[in-house]
Chain A
């Protein structure tokens, strides 16, 4: 019998749980300053997260998907992407979206039930949050197809949860990415839980990264709580994609430290001991310890930055809360490039009902 295929999945890790370096730093230009920037964005992400949950709990924001525990993954993606690359996110990429220019108040506006949160010009060609699971993986392949057809040196980056990898869209996306060698990078935030379903009953494969083998593309694991490892792996994958050397699947191992969303209660299905253990591995403290030990960050900087992010997030929350709702006719005005005649009457009626004295006046 001949062996016709052999595959191995490697896990990249540079920092242990305490933030101690396990291997020599990867050769990435200006890595120390990038890691400091990375840390600052992770702290900002965490501050945003607490503020968003507080707003939701007090009835000032809709259902919110926390990214607690995914900060290193998201911020590293943000750092490794170039402005001309395209982000095709799922719904837990707040930090990356901010790093790509979305103002915090506009991000809150999205979760506050307003389409304008997906409209900000700073988002460029990036896709809005993708709610239907795994569909974004195919949009990323479409974006990558356009990039490849035009012969451009940029790439598409998309993120998906561990649950999303069970969907056909994800498998179809990997398949076409491999068949056409598309400039796309798939990042799986394997945070171990798809709402209440644990990773172990989500998929029988030992790793999610090995799904890449079935599509003929690179697959690897990385410690999703380790910003240095993430930088190393992402930098390489994105550059390969831009250079036309093909797609990659990166499974980042993390832990969802929050409920699935504010509408979820993870105590119904998740063991508290497991959560406590996960907090020992969390990414923000780990990077802070490393930066401290290298003399790249100190207590004074920490204190100043914490105050700064709290101020930024509070100001953004105030700005968000001051934004009045869109006029009702906006629900008609972007449906088609031009309003069809057939909808004119409904639009007028909606406007009349929204007027003082109308049945829909607030």
Chain B
């Protein structure tokens, strides 16, 4: 039976499912136990699975990540929550310097199958340091997987896959769409693949590539462009590292045009990597330059100005029109 649920409820559903299926799954983080997490992503799990499976930690992000490394190396599936991505930086030494390297530096003797979950992105009028999109910092790291869902169903399936994955996974949850819409999600324990993009809409004229909360803006743009007779293919990258370039390249080969949409600052972002890789392998298939609709290369503004920063569907439509005008 499937009920229509929000993304944050889907996260909760996947966590509960993974914990039921595998007693090695242990959650840790700040306020995740009795309080159920500040976004309620872990609500009721402590009551259901006990305080040995849901650990309310002291308030120290470095410690949470370091603990997860040690637990994962012992064969537990440590699923750690960092309350907001703005506070993820203290974890980086452990995620980048240890989690992503442990398998490689021991040639497989030890591994680090942890999941680090963090709500990320802007659009909810949050306090300072609560709205950034710094996924590129992690997508650059070999040995780490970076996964971002864009709907309740994909949050459910991708989180199950992340927990099941033998590699360390950074799982970023776009909090702007935590409760934006509901979707039927069947609690069937079926994971989604971490090695493919998802083609959400097929089209012939142009390929729109995005992830996270920007998928909603991109799909809205595609709807409106369809009214004008422009047929957009929409791809949700979902796994930002390692990238499934084949799906994107096949689409661009078909359409000859591409717009990449993301919330993170434009320069040095994952969109730049996708654009470069598509150009390397598909330049002759392209009829127009690859366009990027992205955040400015500025500090994420405090919330009074955040709407000026966030790309929206009108920006996507403009970029599509310019690309089509080029050729």
Residues of A within 8 A of B (CB): 86, 88, 115-116, 118-121, 123, 125, 127-128, 132, 135, 137-147, 149, 156, 168-169, 172-173, 175-176, 179, 330-331, 334-337, 340-343
Contacts of A168 in B (CB 8 A): 62, 90
Does the CB pair B106–A172 fall under 8 Å?
Answer: no
Does the CB pair B70–A340 fall under 8 Å?
Answer: no
Does the CB pair A115–B55 fall under 8 Å?
Answer: no
Per-residue A-contact encoding for B73-97, CB less than 8 Å = 1, 0 else: 1111010000000000010011001
> Given that A135-B66, A138-B63, A141-B63 are known contacts, is A337 also in contact with B167, CB under 8 Å in the complex?
yes
Does the CB pair B60–A176 fall under 8 Å?
Answer: yes
Contacts of B58 in A (CB 8 A): 172, 175-176, 179
Q: Out of A118, A139, A175, name the residue touching B106 (CB < 8 Å).
A: A118
Does the CB pair B103–A334 fall under 8 Å?
Answer: yes
Residues of B within 8 A of A (CB): 26, 52-53, 55, 57-58, 60, 62-63, 65-76, 78, 90, 93-94, 97-98, 102-111, 142-143, 145, 165-167, 195, 242-246
Does the CB pair B74–A175 fall under 8 Å?
Answer: no
A-B pair number, CB within 8 angstroms: 140
29 contacts between A and B (CB under 8 A): A115-B106, A118-B107, A119-B108, A135-B66, A135-B97, A138-B65, A138-B70, A138-B94, A139-B70, A139-B98, A140-B70, A141-B66, A142-B66, A142-B67, A142-B69, A142-B71, A143-B73, A145-B71, A156-B70, A172-B66, A175-B58, A175-B63, A331-B104, A334-B103, A335-B142, A335-B143, A336-B166, A336-B167, A337-B165
Closest Cβ of chain A to B46, distance in Å, is: 14
Contacts of B93 in A (CB 8 A): 132, 135, 169
Does the CB pair A138–B104 fall under 8 Å?
Answer: no
Q: Out of B60, B98, B107, B145, name the residue touching A119 (CB < 8 Å).
A: B107
Contacts of B167 in A (CB 8 A): 336-337
Instruction: Compute how far the CA of A172 lies from the CA of B63 in the bound complex, rounded to whole angstroms.
Output: 6
Contacts of A343 in B (CB 8 A): 242
Instruction: Compute how far the CA of A93 lies from the CA of B87 in the bound complex, rounded to whole angstroms.
Output: 33
A-B complex: 4 closest residue pairs judged by Cβ atoms: A142-B70, A138-B66, A146-B74, A340-B242
Does the CB pair A142–B74 fall under 8 Å?
Answer: yes
Query: A127-B110, A169-B66, A335-B143 given. 20 additional CB < 8 A pairs?
Result: A88-B70, A118-B107, A119-B106, A128-B102, A132-B98, A138-B66, A139-B70, A141-B67, A142-B69, A143-B70, A147-B74, A172-B58, A179-B58, A331-B104, A336-B143, A336-B145, A337-B165, A340-B242, A341-B242, A342-B243
Does the CB pair B69–A115 fall under 8 Å?
Answer: no
Instruction: Compute how far the CA of A296 lies from the CA of B274 in the bound complex, rounded to whole angstroms.
Output: 70
Does the CB pair A144–B52 fall under 8 Å?
Answer: no
B52, B63, B75 — which one has the most chain A CB atoms within 10 A of its CB?
B63
Does the CB pair B242–A146 fall under 8 Å?
Answer: no
Does the CB pair A118–B142 fall under 8 Å?
Answer: no
> Given that A135-B98, A138-B69, A340-B195 are known contacts, is A334 also in contact with B242, CB under 8 Å in the complex?
no
